């Protein structure tokens, strides 16, 4: 991979944000407003006693060396002056000057030119919510819609995985240093995303992650998606901030409902009460994006289970536990368990912890 053609001015801007990372963290309450400031205003606003030193370093900034460093880290560069810069980001009041891209630049350009949906949610989520995120992303991936998220553990990771499992495309936006997995445990997912999608970040390869970078990153996720879907989010969570940002950008927001008593469902339900689209299946999202008859690729059903397995399959799809499903399908325990194994072998259902079976696909 080679360094892109990003211009010196934009690179300097990106460098400056990294240089002021510690100062910005102090002021993270108004981070979005700060990011909208010009260079000199930004230095004056946050650098304090270091202002003179920062100005001197800014004058000495060597764009060539920065490009080389990024190329060494395997990052491609694309700045807001380039033709391939995702136009969706222009909707932001403070668009990122440069995207540091792990993965192929042309692919990022192609993906951002097509339709994308952001799926965001809680890090600690229930198996139900994870499955909801995964299967939603699978459906979107199959329909050729790019799934955008933040690679955090939980819902974010499940969304990326779902899209990639369906051989769809997915883009992760990291707080900083997109050549490294963040969180580090997501190494495998990071590799899959680079191979089949892209991992991007506003900040350069040597910037350490700080707290202000998460809301800053969330604004990119909100802008890159033509729609934002929240799967599980507690009160005052980052996912809700992303959804709010999307609303200010006039992007449609969707939410996947959960159990009304679970704290994790608070976010999605609050959004739905305020008029967000209720999302229960990929078709709901596709309808918002393309209208009721403009779905690009039919997210049609996969191969169906054999006829004798059909009643059990349907009972499970209705959410019944195996024992009840056997009864509904008129099977005794022995034949029911055998049919369950046959469905699992065929890849139609997956076993979840606690002996619950979920429908694949």
Partner 1 sequence: MLARVATFAIDGVQPRQVWVEVDLRAGLPAFTIVGLGDTAVRESRDRIRAAILNSGFKFPDGRITANLAPAFLRKAGPGFDAALALGVLAASAQVPAAALAGYAVFGELSLGGELRDSPGALAVAEGARRAGCARLIVPRSRAREAALVDGLGVVAVPSLRAAADVLSGAKPPPLPDADPRHSGPRQAPDLADVRGQQAPLLALEIAAAGGHNLLFEGAPGTGKTMLARRLPSILPPLSRAEAIEVTRIHSVAGVHADGLINSRPFRAPHHTISPAGLAGGGSPPRPGEATLADHGVLFLDELSEFQRTSLDALRQPLEDGHVTIVRGQRSLRFPTRFMLLAATNPCPCGFAGVDDRCSCGEVELRRHRRRLSGPLLDRMDLLVDVRRPSDEELRRPPLTDSTQAAARVAEARERQRRRLAGTGAACNGEMDVRLVGSRVALQEGAAEELGRAYRSGLLSARGRHRVLRVARTVADLGARDRITREDILLALSLRQRTGAELTVPS
Work out whether 335 is an interface residue with partner 1 (CB under 8 A). Answer: yes
Query: How many residues line the site for partner 1 (CB under 8 A)?
Result: 42
Q: Output the smallest distance, CB 317 to partner 1, in A.
A: 16
Work out whether 334 is an interface residue with partner 1 (CB under 8 A). Answer: yes
Q: Output the smallest distance, CB 33 to partner 1, in A.
A: 33
Q: Is 346 helix (H, G, I), strand (E, B) or coil?
A: coil
Q: Where are the alpha helices (DSSP H) in 249-281?
A: 266-273
Site for partner 1 in 258-297 (CB under 8 A): 258-259, 262
Burial grade of 301 (CB within 10 A; 0-12, 13-18, 19 or more): exposed
Q: CB-wise, 248 or 333, nearer to partner 1?
A: 333
Binding mask 137-166 for partner 1 (x = CB under 8 A): ----------------xx--xx--x---x-
- Interface residue with partner 1, options 44, 187, 211, 351 (CB under 8 A): 351
Q: Output the smallest distance, CB 122 to partner 1, in A.
A: 9
Compute φ and ψ for 87, nearest 5 degrees: -65, -20
**Residue 229 DSSP one-character state:** E
Work out whether 80 is an interface residue with partner 1 (CB under 8 A). Answer: no
Q: Output the smallest distance, CB 356 to partner 1, in A.
A: 4
Q: With contact defined as beta carbons under 8 Å apart, do 257 and 265 qualify?
A: yes
> Per-residue b/e over 68-96, b at no fewer than 16 CB within 10 Å?
eebbebebbbbbbebebbbebbebbebbb
The sheet with strand 116-120 has its strands ordered as: 76-79, 98-102, 198-201, 170-174, 146-149, 116-120, 227-230, 253-255, 277-278
Q: With contact defined as beta carbons under 8 Å apart, do 20 and 26 qualify?
A: no
Report in angstroms the alpha-carbon separations of 243 from 218, 262, 346: 9, 20, 38
Range in contact with partner 1 (rule: CB under 8 A) among 39-47, 269-277, 287-295, 333-341:
333-341
Work out whether 347 is an interface residue with partner 1 (CB under 8 A). Answer: yes
Q: With contact defined as beta carbons under 8 Å apart, do 285 and 259 qualify?
A: no
- Interface residue with partner 1, options 5, 110, 356, 359 (CB under 8 A): 356
Q: CB-wise, 33 or 195, nearer to partner 1?
A: 195
* Radius of gyration from C-alpha coordinates of the chain: 23
Burial grade of 273 (CB within 10 A; 0-12, 13-18, 19 or more): exposed
Range in contact with partner 1 (rule: CB under 8 A) among 20-28, 93-101, 110-118, 336-344:
336-344
- Interface residue with partner 1, options 124, 167, 187, 274 (CB under 8 A): 124
Q: Output the smallest distance, CB 87 to partner 1, in A.
A: 33
- Interface residue with partner 1, options 125, 194, 246, 299 (CB under 8 A): 125
Cβ of 261: how many Cβ atoms within 10 Å? 6
Q: Output the smallest distance, CB 262 to partner 1, in A.
A: 6
Work out whether 123 is an interface residue with partner 1 (CB under 8 A). Answer: yes
Work out whether 127 is an interface residue with partner 1 (CB under 8 A). Answer: yes
For binding to partner 1 (CB under 8 A), which residues are involved? Answer: 123-128, 130, 134, 153-154, 157-158, 161, 165, 258-259, 262, 321-324, 326, 332-335, 337-342, 344-345, 347, 350-356
């Amino acid at each position: 991979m080679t360094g892109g053609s990003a211009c010196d001015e934009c690179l300097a801007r990106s460098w400056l944000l990294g240089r002021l990372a510690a100062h910005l963290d102090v002021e993270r309450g108004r981070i979005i407003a700060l990011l909208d400031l010009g260079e000199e205003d930004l230095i004056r606003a946050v650098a304090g006693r270091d202002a003179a030193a920062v100005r001197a370093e800014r004058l000495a900034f060597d764009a060539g060396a920065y490009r080389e460093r990024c190329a060494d880290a395997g990052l491609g560069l694309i700045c807001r002056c380039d033709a391939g810069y995702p136009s969706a980001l222009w909707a932001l009041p403070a668009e990122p000057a440069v995207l540091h891209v792990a993965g192929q630049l042309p692919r990022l350009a192609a993906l951002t030119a097509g339709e994308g949906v952001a799926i965001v949610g809680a890090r600690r989520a229930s198996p139900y919510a994870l499955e909801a995120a995964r299967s939603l992303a699978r459906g979107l991936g199959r329909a050729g819609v790019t799934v955008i998220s933040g690679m955090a553990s939980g819902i974010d990771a499940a969304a990326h995985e779902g899209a990639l499992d369906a051989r769809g495309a997915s883009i992760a936006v990291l707080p900083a240093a997109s050549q490294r997995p963040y969180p580090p445990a997501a190494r495998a997912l990071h590799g899959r995303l680079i191979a089949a999608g892209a991992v991007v970040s506003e900040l350069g390869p040597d910037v350490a992650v700080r707290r202000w970078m998460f809301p800053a990153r969330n604004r990119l996720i909100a802008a890159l998606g033509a729609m934002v879907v929240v799967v599980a989010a507690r009160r005052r969570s980052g996912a809700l901030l992303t959804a709010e940002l999307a609303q200010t950008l006039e992007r449609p927001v969707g939410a996947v409902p959960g159990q009304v008593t679970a704290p994790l469902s608070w976010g999605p339900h609050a959004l739905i009460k305020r008029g967000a689209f209720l999302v229960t299946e990929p078709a709901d999202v596709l309808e918002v994006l393309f209208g009721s008859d403009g779905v690009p690729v039919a997210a049609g059903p996969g191969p169906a289970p054999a006829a004798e397995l059909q009643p059990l399959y349907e009972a499970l799809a209705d959410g019944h536990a195996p024992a009840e499903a056997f009864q509904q399908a008129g099977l005794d325990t022995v034949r029911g368990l055998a049919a369950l194994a046959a469905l699992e072998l065929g890849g139609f259902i997956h076993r979840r912890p606690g002996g619950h079976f979920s429908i694949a696909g």
